[in-house]
Amino acid sequence: MSLKAWYRPVIIWCVSLVFVAASCKKEAQAPKPGEQQTTTFTNPLLNAAPDPWVVQKDSTYYYLHTLGNRIQIWKTSRMSRLKDVTPVTVFSASATGGNSRDIWAPELFFLNNKWYIYYTASDGNDRAHRMWVLENTNADPTQGSWTDKGALVTQPADLWSIDGTVFQQDTTLYLIWSGRPFAGGPTDLTQNLYISRMSSPFRLAGQTVKISSPGYDWEKRGFAVNEGPEILRNPAGRVHLVYSGSYCGDDRYSLGLMTLKEGSDPLIPANWTKSPNPVFTGLASANAFGVGHNGFFKSRDGKEDWVIYHANSAAGEGCDDSRNVRMQKFSWTSDGLPIFGEPVATGRSVDVPSGE
């Protein structure tokens, strides 16, 4: 037998081993049974989940919502599978003190290479509601320790304040929140939107500036409220502010829109333009009542924009733990305004965000 004739079957045998190995590797990397079929989800994602918030860092999403006496973080790579995540508790309220009750609307931000949680709290007295800050230097906010940085004191007067969110323009940080001046006396429950410059992620440095008051009828149902402010940038980078209007326990609670003049100073109220009508409202046929207090995120591949929000599934359920969290994709007009459409009905199959 020639040498050539001898090594031909050996080569065929080795090539076969390569194909077998590749096949085994492919099988090992394949999704688990069941996961492979998960291309849709249904709303609601979670029950008893008011005031949802999500932030994305790299390929990971961190989700939070109001729990009342603690703060938890859900960590996931697939927002459509939020219900499968076991949350991590990062803060528990003490028995007494200014942040011992009403732990509401936590929001997580990565600023100056540290994580910060902004949340509302009180000592149980409504007039004591203020915004508070936690700090974590760990790269993963579900790990490491959280340091209490205290309350965010508004200037020049320390006023009732809730729903703080951070807005960064170039290198400057601003805080936007919902506040009550009690200008009409102790029974005046009007809530406005305010902004202030920050000297650090846990300190306000500038004067408090009012940028919005509830003036339209749709903002005054129950009582006059502007709250839950959230920054939304369109594909061209234009700054919008989406907020919730009317009392949260009213079935007509809805989302409104403000737009900042391009390249302008956000501390000048005239630079903000408010749309006269709500941009996202409830829909009885979708089992969506009192829609509001939202957040935004991109799909994993960055191709889609999604809104996450809470709603009640039946009329008259009020402003409590009956609210559940939902999400849906949205688009943009040619002028760069968001198109949220109508709430997607509960139980309806929705395609998962692209890239999941």
Q: Which residues participate in catalysis according to the annotation?
A: 51, 227
Question: 102-135 burial by CB neighbour count: b if 16+ within 10 A, else e?
Answer: bbbbbbbbeeeebbbbbbbbbeeeeeebbbbbbb
Alpha helices in the chain (DSSP H): 3-29
Question: Residue 332 has which token pair?
Answer: 């943009």
Cα separation, 202 vs 152, in Å, equals 7
Could you count the other beta carbons within 10 Å of the beta carbon of residue 16? 10
Are the C-beta atoms of 51 and 68 separated by less than 8 Å?
no
State phi, psi for 214 to the nearest 5 degrees: -70, 110
Q: What's the distance, CA 39 to chain centroid?
A: 23
Residue 36 CB contacts under 8 Å (≥ 6 apart), including other chains: 30
Are the C-beta atoms of 192 and 178 separated by less than 8 Å?
yes
Are the C-beta atoms of 195 and 212 separated by less than 8 Å?
no
